[in-house]
Structure 1
Amino acid sequence: MKLSMKSNCFFFIFFFLIAVLLSCQAPPEEPLQIGYIDWPGYEILYLAQQKDFFQEEKAPILLKDFSSFSDLRKALQLGRLDGAAMSINEMLLARLGEEYRVVFVLNVSQGADGIVGQHEFQSIRNLKHKRVGVELTGLGGYLLARALEIADMEISEVIRVNMTATIEAYTAFSERKVDAVVTFEPILSRLVTEQGGKILFTSREIPDEIINVLIFHKDALKYRRDDCLRVLRGYLKAREFWKKEPDQAIAIMARRERVSPDYFRQSLNGLLIPDLSTNLTYFGLSDTENYFLESIKNFQSFMEENDLPYGPVYFENLLNDLKRHEQFS
């Protein structure tokens, strides 16, 4: 009887200690929430998720899709995201620089953003007093202003109609509610091939002015730096997979964009998608000057000339921590 009581007491203490130890363990980290909009240059993030490259790197990440930059901007400004994929121009416009840091260049637009007019329009100058669909709070407003500036026109010479650059732009154009739209791939190509539109201007005419980057919140970089690095490693694995198995990778990415692989492949023609070694050059870590400085200065000058408010942009050096992963470059 005494032995039985001792045994029961022993097991009680044993399980009590186990329960205490388990309760002392830190709960699993919440995933880093990364926001992005539909854009071919961001789909390598989706590819990394679908091919389990984030999981292989033990990167706790949750991708959150937004229908427009306006919605993405609101989520960032409210602190609901740990990071995002967006252009530096949009970051300046949204004045996110105090809270978020640029860590990696995902792509540079070299024709993937543009202005499409109805078939009867031959140039930007033909849009005088015409209706142009554009997302005013996003990159589209800047692209339209630059196109008009190059055409020696004022922004007041066109009628701007605020709308998202994707489905709303496609619908408004196809129903001829607007004379032109500011959009990006794959909508850009679809409006030409499916609706007979004519490309009037693209980002190819303003090289290196639209740089799309990955940003992280400063707190994520301070307290979860290793997790941020794991996200980058997963992304770089996906980029390497795309280079080695382009047909399979494009099929996966095109499915999320809801276009054919041929459309998606064409969309990528207007993008430069840099590797790690190129990013080291961009960030001035390869005995070169910071790639962004002149582009940002030009953008800031443009904003000041047009009396438009903008915020600062700050960079965080995660890339030196990745340099040992030379197989990705």
Structure 2
Amino acid sequence: MGRIDGGAQVDGRLREVKSALFLAGFVAFLLSPIVSCLSRPKEPLRIGVNAWPPFELLDLARGRGYFASENVDVDLVDFSSYTGILRSYHQGNIDGFLATLNEVQIADNFQDQPAVILVVDYSFGGDALVVRDGITHLKELRGKRIAFEESALGSYELERILEIGGLKPEEIIAISRLPEEAEQDFHKGRVHGLITYEPGLGRLLRTERARILFSSRDIPGEIVDVMAMRRSVLNQRADEVRRAIRAWFRAVEELKDHPHAAAAEMAGRQRMTVEEFLQALRGARIPDLAENRVLLGSASSQGRLHDTATRLAEFLVRHKLTGKAASGAELIRADFLDAM
């Protein structure tokens, strides 16, 4: 038997080790984006909300652990007004928000127009024109100073008040103010009335010599709050969005089945007592899943929300509140309710 060259054997083994190390490194390089993607914590869905009692159902869903049990991470981002929500959406800081349908319809406000995936509530008395004692008819607003938020909702309400009251815009003094500023102006006597909503509405009625002259009860079905989400999020994170919607409807059912217990959890953030919060909720109708399906429709038939969107779009364009208003067909994504 011939001798084995120990040096050659070692060199061969070294080459094998180097080859194995190179192969392992190359595989690791190829897999690193996948591993990184899998190990990177998923960003939460960020939803913008402002102060409106029905919107607190999102916080109830968080507090009761409905988001967690549906295996979806949701961050609720609070704003004092819709103006702040819109700014944050433009900056890419939130993925979606709750707002009135006519706000979402204003195409001029969006480069990335969101889609509507569910109806949160109908206002039925929760939005109102509050005036000083002594003003009893809409015609008596002539020459008066009226504060309102110059958003699509505030402008829409003001226009409807003038239409129903038989007044022309130049016959009143309309003052653009944020809700909290308008409350202060009313308190200090700088304005004769203001357009506001809960919880500010209830606060004014409790603490000021004020009365409701006009409310969303006078225009039933015209002020609709919806959940709107960025379309790229709907395309890339559809399953998470559906999980969040399921958590929302669990909160809706909880409020329906145990109103006092649910209100006790939600009232604190609005700085209201449980009874005050329940009273504020009476100013809105919150549709469940079955009613949402009727409102949004399906791929084969349009729901009632399409008719509402058509009426609002015509109003927005006619009164030059936008150059183009999105139709229901352009906005509404009923398919996110299909798997509920």
TM range (shorter): 0.7 to 0.9
Native 8 Å contact 1:40 1:264 kept in 2: yes
Counterpart position of 1:38: 51
The 5-angstrom pairing of residues 1-329 of structure 1 reads 24-26=35-37, 27-93=40-106, 95-96=109-110, 98-165=112-179, 167-285=180-298, 289-309=302-322, 310-313=324-327, 314-323=331-340
Structure 1 residues without counterparts, runs of 5 or longer: 1-8, 324-329
Q: Tell me whether 264-273 or 119-128 shows the greater mean CA deviation.
A: 119-128
How far apart in 1 are the matches of 2:264 and 2:170? 42
Residues 42 and 320 (structure 1 numbering): CA distance in 2 closer, same or farther, change over 3 Å? closer
Please tell me whether Structure 1 or Structure 2 has the larger radius of gyration of its CA atoms. 2
RMSD, aligned α-carbons = 2.5
Residues 145 and 226 (structure 1 numbering): CA distance in 2 closer, same or farther, change over 3 Å? same
How far apart in 2 are the matches of 1:242 and 1:305? 39
Q: Tell me whether 103-112 or 182-191 shows the greater mean CA deviation.
A: 182-191
Per the TM alignment, residue 162 of structure 1 is displaced from its structure 2 partner at its CA by 1.5
Per the TM alignment, residue 66 of structure 1 is displaced from its structure 2 partner at its CA by 0.5
What amino acid does structure 1 have at the position aligned with 2:187? Answer: S
Counterpart position of 2:13: none
Per the TM alignment, residue 294 of structure 1 is displaced from its structure 2 partner at its CA by 2.1
How far apart in 2 are the matches of 1:31 and 1:287? 33
Counterpart position of 2:10: none
Native 8 Å contact 1:131 1:180 kept in 2: yes
Per the TM alignment, residue 127 of structure 1 is displaced from its structure 2 partner at its CA by 1.3
Is the partner of 1:322 in helix, strand or coil?
coil
Per the TM alignment, residue 285 of structure 1 is displaced from its structure 2 partner at its CA by 3.4
Residues 286 and 78 (structure 1 numbering): CA distance in 2 closer, same or farther, change over 3 Å? closer
Native 8 Å contact 1:59 1:234 kept in 2: no
How far apart in 1 are the matches of 2:338 and 2:299? 14
Native 8 Å contact 1:254 1:261 kept in 2: yes
Is the partner of 2:77 in helix, strand or coil?
strand
Q: TM (normalized to structure 2)?
A: 0.84
Per the TM alignment, residue 321 of structure 1 is displaced from its structure 2 partner at its CA by 3.2
Structure 2 residues without counterparts, runs of 5 or longer: 1-16
How far apart in 2 are the matches of 1:154 and 1:92? 25
For residues 181-231 of structure 1, the C-alpha deviation after alignment (integer angstroms, 9 at most, x for no partner) is: 100012212212221201010011111111100011000000000110111
Native 8 Å contact 2:53 2:198 kept in 1: yes
How far apart in 2 are the matches of 1:103 and 1:175? 41
Is the partner of 2:255 in helix, strand or coil?
helix
